[in-house]
Homo-oligomer: A and B are copies of this chain.
Amino acid sequence: MEFIIYLAGEIHTNWRDKIKEEASRRNLPFRFVGPMEKHDLSDDIGENILGEQPNAIFKDQAASDINNFRTSVLMNKADIVIALFGEKYKQWNTAMDASTAISSNKPLILIRPEQLHHPLKELSNKANVTVEDVQQAIDVLSYLVE
């Protein structure tokens, strides 16, 4: 039995690689999917495909069409969602993806540094599990197949 895990969150650091490596090291039966991690491509994909847009807002709109398309297709396939929040960035798309997971009955692990507990308290309250780092998230995943 294999589990598909969608990794929602920022695409500026390599946190996804850490999860994948650790899962591989522990031989866990997980397959990971997630958003486009090449940041420039993620921002430019709308104009790359549809051509130049009138201004930055419309450029963003074209890109978000395609990024949300990708997220919807892959999250539909997922058994589990992990959403990571960090100190930087607004991360409203991460909150949106985490909330979509909850509404779709996909179990959700939230990763956030302790100091973010206050602004994330409502989302943490709805997540199945809240942990503080990637290592703890892997520990939760491991428990699944123990």
Chain A contact residues, CB within 8 Å of chain B: 1, 3-4, 31, 33, 36, 38, 41, 45, 48-50, 54-58, 60-61, 63-74, 76-77, 79-80, 85, 89-93, 95-100, 102-107, 109, 114, 116-126, 128-132, 136, 139-140, 143-144, 146
Q: How far is the CB of A33 from chain B (nearest CB, A)?
A: 8
This chain's copy number in the assembly: 8
Q: Which of B55, B99, B107, B121 contacts A61 (CB 8 A)?
A: B121
A70 touches B122 (CB 8 A): no
A122 touches B67 (CB 8 A): yes
B72 touches A122 (CB 8 A): no
Chain B residues contacting A49 (CB-CB under 8 Å) are 131, 136, 139-140, 143
A to B CB contacts below 8 Å, 19 in the list = A1-B77, A36-B143, A36-B146, A45-B143, A54-B54, A54-B55, A60-B117, A61-B121, A64-B125, A66-B143, A69-B129, A73-B107, A73-B144, A90-B116, A93-B119, A93-B123, A96-B122, A97-B99, A98-B99
A80 touches B73 (CB 8 A): yes
Q: How far is the CB of A96 from chain B (nearest CB, A)?
A: 4
Chain B residues contacting A119 (CB-CB under 8 Å) are 89-93
A3 touches B73 (CB 8 A): yes
Q: How far is the CB of A5 from chain B (nearest CB, A)?
A: 10
A96 touches B93 (CB 8 A): no
Contacts A77-B1, A96-B122: A109 and B36 contacting too (C-beta < 8 A)?
no
